[in-house]
Amino acid sequence: MQFLSYLISGISLGSVYALIALGYTMVYGIAKMLNFAHGDIIMIGSYVIFFAFGGFGWNPILSVVVSMVVCTILGTVIERVAYRPLREAPSLAVLITAIGVSYLLQQVAQLMWSPDPKSFQSIVAGAGLKPLELFGGKLTISAEAIVTIIACVVIMVALTAFVNHTVPGHAMLAVSEDRGAAQLMGVNVNATIALTFAIGSALAAVAGALLCSSYPTLSPTTGAMPGIKAFVAAVFGGIGSIPGAFLGGVLLGVIENLSKAYISTQLSDAIVFLVLIVVLVVKPTGLLGKKINVKV
C-alpha cells in the first residue's frame, strides 16, 4: 500500500515533468533548439495565475486562460526578438541566447514581484475537486495528481493529432524534417516556428498551473530546476518525440520518488541521472527516439 502511494506521487510528479517536457520537445523537434527559458516561462505563467486566481479571486479556468494568453504572447515575442535573428547562426549561439533570456525572465520576475516566496493556492482545489480516496481511505490520490495526469494525456493526444492531421501540423513536421526543403515547398518556416513557440508557451502556462498546484511554492527560480528535469525527461524519452516526452517525464518522476522513498533522499538526483546515462548509453537516442542514419 505504501509502495502504491509512493508510486502515485511519483506519477504525479512525473506527469508535471511530462507536461513541461512536451513543450521542450515540440520546440526542439521543430526549431532544433534547446529553449532553456522554457522553465522560466512556466514561472511567469504561474505568477500570472497566482495574482489572477489568488489575488483577484478570478475563476480558476479563466485564470489559466489568461495565463496561457500572457505566456503565448511572451513566448512569441521572445522568439521574434531573441531567437529569430539567430535562425541561421550556429545552434550554440541560440542556446546561449536562450540562457540569457532565462536569466532575464528571472531577474524581471524578481524585480516585479520580489524574491519572497509565494504560497500558491491550488487551482484544482479552487475548482472544487476533491481528492480520491481508495481502500477505505488508506490510499489517497490528490485531485491535483489526477488532473495533471489527465491533462497530460489529453494534451499529448491532442498534440499528436494536431501534428499528424492538420495543415499547420504537417507544416511543422516538414520544417522539422528538412527546413530548407519545406521552405522550397512553400511552407512559411518563420510562421511555423512562431506557431510552435506559441503552442509550447501556452503549454508552459498549463504546466505552471499544475506544477504550482501540486507543489505550492512560487519564487522567481521556481521554473529552473523542473525545467532542467523536464529537459532531461525529454531526452530520456527521445527528444522530438511527443509520446517520448510523456513517457520520459513519468518515468523520471517515478524513479525520483521511489529512490527517495527506498534508497536515499540525498542521492535521488544522482540516481535519476545515472539511470538516464545508462538508458542513453544502451539506447543512444532515448527510449522512443528515432534512429538517425547518417548518410555518407
Partner 1 sequence: MLSRLKTMKKTTRSNLITFGIVIVFYLVVQILSGAGLTTRSFEGQLVPICAYVVLAISLNLTVGFLGELSLGHAGFMSVGAFSGVLLWTLVGDSLPAFVAIPLAFIVGGIVAGIFGVIVGVPVLRLSGDYLAIVTLAFGEIIKNIINALYLGVDENGVHFSLTDANSMGLSADGETLINGAMGITGIKKASTFTIGFVLILITLIVILNLINSRTGRAIMAIRDNEIAAQSVGINLTRFKLTAFVVSAVFAGFAGVLYGLNYSSLVASRFDYNTSIQILVFVVLGGIGSIRGSIIAAALLTVLPEVLRGLQDYRMLIYAIVLIVVMIFNQSPQIIAWRKRIIGRFSSKKGEPEKKEVA
Partner 2 sequence: MKKLISAALASAMVLSLAACGSTGDSSSAASGTGDSTAATAEASAAGETTPIKLGGIGPVTGANAQYGTAVKNGEQLAVDEINAAAGYTVFELSFEDDESDSEKAVNAFNKLLDDGMQVLLGPVTSDPSISVAAECASENIFMLTPSASSQDVVDSGAGNAFQMCFTDPNQGKTAADYIAANSLGTAIGIIYDSSDAYSTGIYTAFQAEAEAKGLEIVQTSSFTADNNTDLSTQVSQCQQAGADLVFLPIYYQQASQVLIAANNIGYEPAFFGCDGMDGILSIDGFDTSLANDLMLLCPFSAYGEDETTKTFVAAYQAAYTETPNQFAADAYDCVYAVYQCLQDGVITPDMSAEDMCDALKTAFTSMTFSGTTGENQTWAADGTITKDPKVYQVQDGAYVLMSSKQ
Interface with partner 2 (CB under 8 A), residue from 180, 266, 282, 293? 266
Give the C-alpha separation, 228 to 247, whole Å.
16
244 binds partner 2 (CB under 8 A): no
If binding means CB under 8 A, how many residues of this protein chain bind partner 1?
42
Taking residue 103's Cβ as centre, other Cβ atoms within 10 Å add up to: 12
SS3 279: helix
Residue 216: what residue type? P
**Is 132 in a helix, a strand, or coil?**
strand
Of 81, 181, 217, 290, the residue at the interface with partner 2 (CB under 8 A) is: 217
Closest by Cα among 7, 73, 59 to 257: 7
Per partner kind, with CB cut-offs from 5 to 8 A, the member of partner 1, partner 2, none near residue 42 is: none
**Please, what is the minimum distance in Å from the beta carbon of residue 8 to partner 1?**
25
In angstroms, give the least distance from the CB of 99 to partner 1: 6
User: Does 140 participate in binding partner 2 (rule CB under 8 A)?
Assistant: yes
3-state secondary structure of 134: strand
Single out the residue of 72, 28, 256, 250 nearest to residue 156, CA to CA.
250
172 closest CA partner among 152, 206, 200 = 200
Does 38 engage in binding with partner 2 (CB under 8 A)? no
Q: Enter the C-alpha cell of residue 61.
A: 479556468
Among 82, 125, 127, 189, binds partner 1 (CB under 8 A): 82
Residue 220's beta-bridge partner residues?
none
Among 46, 67, 72, 257, binds partner 2 (CB under 8 A): 257
Q: How far is the CB of 150 from partner 2 (least distance, A)?
A: 19
- Residue 258 to residues 9, 13, 269, 271, Cα–Cα distance (Å): 9, 11, 11, 10
Binds partner 2 (CB under 8 A): choice among 265, 277, 282, 293: 265
Provide the mask over 100-139, with x wherever binding to partner 2 is found by CB under 8 A and - wherever it is not.
-------x--x---xxxxxxxx---------x--------
Strand partners, 161: none
Q: Residue 218 phi/psi, 5° resolution?
A: -130, 120
Please choose which of partner 1, partner 2, none residue 76 contacts, taking the beta carbon within 5 to 8 angstroms, the exact cut-off set by kind: none
Of the two residues 73 and 96, which places its CB atom closer to partner 1 in the complex?
A: 96
263 contributes a contact to partner 1 by CB under 8 A? no
223 binds, among partner 2, partner 1, none (CB under 5 to 8 A by kind): none
Residues 8, 82: contact at Cβ < 8 Å?
Answer: no
Enumerate binding residues for partner 1 (CB under 8 A): 28, 34, 82, 85-86, 88-90, 92-93, 95-97, 99-101, 103-104, 107-108, 111, 228, 231-232, 235, 239, 264, 266-267, 269-270, 273-274, 276-277, 280-281, 284-286, 294, 296
